[in-house]
Structure 1
Amino acid sequence: MNSSPTSRPELPWLRAFSFTIFGTSVLVASYFPLFYAKLGFSNSQIGLLYALGPMISLIANLFWSVASDKYRTIKKIMILLLIGQIIMSALLSVSTQFSVIIAVITMYYFFYYPAFPLSDTIAINAAKRHNKHFLTVRIFGSIGYAFFALFIGYVLSMIGSSRTMWVAIGIAAIALFITCFIKDQDSPVAKMDMSGIWGILKQKELLWFFGCVFSLAIAVRMNDAFLTVTLNQLGASEKLIGWSQLASSLSEIPIFILLSLYGEKIKELPLLVFASLIFAARFFLVSAADSAGAIIAIQLMHSLSFGVFYVTSIRMLTRLIPDHYRATGMALFTIAWSSASGLLSGTFGGILFERFGRHDFYLVAMGFALLAGVGFASRYLHRGPRLRATGADVSPAANAKAGEEIR
């Protein structure tokens, strides 16, 4: 445990950084689609712009991971990422043509996505050095997400969605300032071990798990891409959209705490079936909702859907995968949950939303969630959980290695 006087401020600065960096996550997830809509882009175009992020994240995470390993620094890489975000946000603020925005947003995503696994890595290592629980740092990210969800909504309601990118510049600039006070670390981000993929793919239990996760992820990413567009169509202001994000982000915190304390008493597959069914019910209710206020109320189901799924899926994954394949398994999980599903749901979902409307769009999302639930249930009923004890670490610190892209 490092307890020297000069090291004591490290955790408060990391908490401040975690709090701030999630403001950019709020913007990308909730207000970028609204920004595109204000520019007059169609739903299929918005879906394509959303799908670019997961595709670019595959390349960006690998590139910056290699750079972090080669130059033995995380802080300097983080500074470069934040400067890149600021520059790309400035270019986006003056761009209106779809072709230009595609090029610029591609570069923005290149600097945006790797910031989260890097920040998790710094926080995990610092928490270990100070003999603290990782949750003491990571929970400030959830609090920051809730704060910025509401704060950004109020700001944009006053200055207009056309100035979304100026808010992005401001948040990234604050994060850049805080980064200057963070202690550098030479621990690289865990990378995918290509030699371990075959060993993982031979496990039928794990393949079934990834297939169900992918089905559920398509539904979730469809909702992520078009929730703010749906709220806007129902007459919600930026301020009200902020309240919807606040409701979902705050609701997940007590579930995380409860499952960390008592979740081990319940088998994983029944919990995953439960989460899938709650997701399905949530999407069905959104399809039938006739007001923005109703959708905000439905957002409270985020705790029982995403909250239960997140904690339980990482817990199951750490038990199914041996320690020496852990980085590979986490990388494959991220591809299934965020990258591949985001690419498919963005392109497919945009066309679906534009041609058939919100009602049918969310019914299709409900169908994918139900399919995942049936998959988890059939595996449990047919063979049982069959979770192999590996002595895996299922602490929040291990969970965080799945990356922020899971949100």
Structure 2
Amino acid sequence: MFTIFGTTALIISYFPLYYKELGFSSTQVGYLYAVGPLISMFSNMIWSYASDKYRTIKKIMMLLIGGQLTLLLFLTQANSFGAVFMIISLFYFFYYPVYPLADTMAIQTAKRYNRSFTVIRVFGSIGFALFALGIGYVISLAGANRAVVIGIAIGTVTLILSLLLRDGVVKRSGGMELSGLVKMLRSKEIFWFFICVFALALGHRMNEAFLTLTMAQLGADEGLIGWSLMLSAVSEIPIFFLLSKYGDKIKELPLLAFASLMYAVRFVLMGIVSDPMSVLAVQALHSVTFGVFYVTAVRYISRLVPTDYQATGMALFTVFWSSASGLISGTFGGGLFESAGRVTFYYLAAALAGLAAAGFMWRHIFHRD
């Protein structure tokens, strides 16, 4: 989890700067950001369904990490937008499915050793924080063109560590059947949850894709951008520990509504700020936005989805949280950021988060067992 989320810090936060180094426009950066979610809409389901069917996470994760490394090697030789677009498209086929599989393995490992999933997942936050800061300083010294080489180094370490993983053995209640998957997808409770997740994810991915460019626009250097990313990741850690101890005592839907409302506040403040130091302060809200939302959402979806479909359920969550939302925010976000400006961009994100908060509370108040 530590090294996997180190890769996340690089791909999400510093690859936009790498694309800028190659001379790509904000709109082109948006397209490069959007192609990943487009690819992952089916790659997540393919790999996670295979994991559930063949009952192995370890082997598939190793295959995915190996694929990432191969594509990064090709990326070092690409300079034109067309070549980068093609390689990145293939890269994302192997990149996105790692995360729902890693979360599923963490859930299984927690059950095996009678530990909390949250305590395992917190190492992802620690990895993201330390890598975000470290990569920021390396890039400030060596240049954004070193981003791909850094990715190869992190991926190599991750592949070596994956050899030590242990597959979870889950007893099937009745075997994995496609009809059971269809029945799960027809659940009104799951459908409503995914719609609310999608609305919130649109705002979250808009901020994620253009945070580093926003800070650069406000005059921040790579070192300060690294501190901003580290601060947001570190802020998750105490929240994760609190939720691991007390989270089960609070119903999921009100917690999800609270997190969505705090997202709206965070995005409004991002529209107001006028200097990079203010962005650092706003980033502290990552704790009560993503920190609360993610742990609670995983707990909620784990309760709703049968054991036989655990990896597939997490993949569906990832499709709505990362893939579909990232596709739309990346495709239209770049143009909106350029044409309407940062303020309008973040106010729209805030409105989407407010809509999600209303949806979660509506379901909580009017839900009938």
Given residue 39 of structure 1, which amino acid in structure 2 is its aligned partner?
L
In structure 2, distance between residues paired with 1:98 and 1:301: 35
| Number of the residue aligned with 2:270 | 286
- Write out aligned runs for 1:218-367 (5 A): 218-321=202-305, 329-367=313-351
Give the corresponding residue for 1:12.
none
Supply the distance in 2 between the matched residues of 1:360 and 1:287 (Cα, whole angstroms).
7
**Matching residue within 350, 372, 377 for 2:356:** 372
Task: Give yes or no for the alignment of 1:60 onto 2:43.
Answer: yes
- The letter for the 2-side match of 1:344 is I
TM-score (ref. length: structure 1): 0.81
* Offset at residue 124 of structure 1 (A): 4.7
Q: Which residue of 2 aligns with 1:96?
A: 79
- Rounded to whole Å, the distance in 1 between the matches of 2:355 and 2:345 is 16
Deviation at 1:210, TM superposition (A): 2.0
Check the 8 A contact 2:36/2:92 in 1, yes or no.
yes
Quote the Cα distance in structure 2 between the aligned partners of 1:177 and 1:327: 23
The Cα of 1:19 is off from its aligned counterpart by: 1.6
- Matched-pair contact (CA < 8 Å) for 1:73–1:184: no
Say whether the 8 Å CA contact 1:75–1:185 is kept in structure 2.
yes
Percent sequence identity over matched residues?
54
Residues 167-223 of structure 1, C-alpha deviation per residue, up to 9 Å, x if partnerless? 11111122233334x1554869x9996423543454434333222211111111111
Q: Which is further off, 303-312 or 194-203?
A: 194-203
Kept after mapping to 2: 8 A contact 1:54/1:338: yes
Could you tell me which runs of 5 or more consecutive residues in structure 1 were left unpaired when the two chains were aligned: 1-17, 389-407
**Match 1:168 to one of 124, 147, 151:** 151
Paired AA for residue 326 in structure 2: G
Cα contact 2:52–2:312 (8 A) shared by 1: no
Match of 1:113 in 2: 96
Displacement, 1:162? Answer: 1.4
Deviations 1:115-152 (A, max 9, x none): 33444455555555555554554332221111101111
CA contact (8 A) 2:104 2:311 kept: no
Cα root mean square deviation, aligned: 2.8
Equivalent residue, structure 2, for 1:195? 179
**Partners of 1:326 and 1:82 in 2: CA distance:** 21
Given residue 350 of structure 2, which amino acid in structure 1 is its aligned partner?
A: M
Structure 2: how far apart are the matches of 1:314 and 1:75? 20
Segments of 5+ residues of structure 2 without an aligned counterpart are: none
* 8 Å CA contact retained: 1:276, 1:369: yes
Please identify, of 126-135 and 351-360, the stretch whose mean Cα deviation from structure 2 is larger. Answer: 126-135
Residues of 1 paired with 2:263 and 2:282: CA distance? 11
Shift of 1:282: 0.5
Q: Distance in 2 between matches of 1:368 and 1:163?
A: 35
Give the 3 Å change call, closer, same or farther, for CA 380–130 of structure 1 in structure 2: closer
Per the TM alignment, residue 21 of structure 1 is displaced from its structure 2 partner at its CA by 2.1
| Matched-pair contact (CA < 8 Å) for 2:202–2:329 | yes
Whether the aligned pair in 1 keeps the contact of 2:10 and 2:151 (CA below 8 Å) is yes
Q: Count residues in correspondence.
A: 366
- 1:62–1:154 CA distance, 2 compared to 1 (3 A): same
Are the counterparts in 2 of residues 69 and 186 from structure 1 also a CA contact under 8 Å? Answer: no
* SS state at 2:240 partner: helix
In structure 2, do the counterparts of structure 1 residues 59 and 20 end up closer, same or farther at CA, with 3 Å as the change threshold?
same
> Alpha carbons of 1:368 and 1:55: their partners in 2 closer, same or farther (altered >3 Å)?
same
1:29 aligns with 2:15: no
Report SS of the residue matched to 1:236. coil
Q: Write the distance in 1 (CA, Å) between the matches of 2:155 and 2:161.
A: 10
- Tell me the distance in 2 between the aligned counterparts of 1:104 and 1:340: 20
Q: Which whole-Å deviations, capped at 9, do the CAs of 1:270-295 have from their partners, x for residues lacking one?
A: 22222111101101111111111111
Task: Check whether the contact 1:193–1:328 (CA below 8 A) recurs between aligned residues.
Answer: no
2:340 match: secondary structure: helix
For residue 86 of structure 1, what is the amino acid of its counterpart?
Answer: L
TM-score, normalising length from structure 2? 0.88
- Residue type of the alignment partner of 1:250: V
Match of 1:153 among 115, 128, 136: 136
SS of the residue 2:219 aligns to: coil
Q: Which has the higher contact order (CA 8 A, sep 6+)?
A: 2
- Amino acid paired to 1:105: I
Deviates more, 1:292-301 or 1:371-380: 371-380
Cα deviation for residue 85 of structure 1 reads 2.1
Distance (whole Å) between structure 1 residues aligned to residue 330 and residue 364 of structure 2: 31
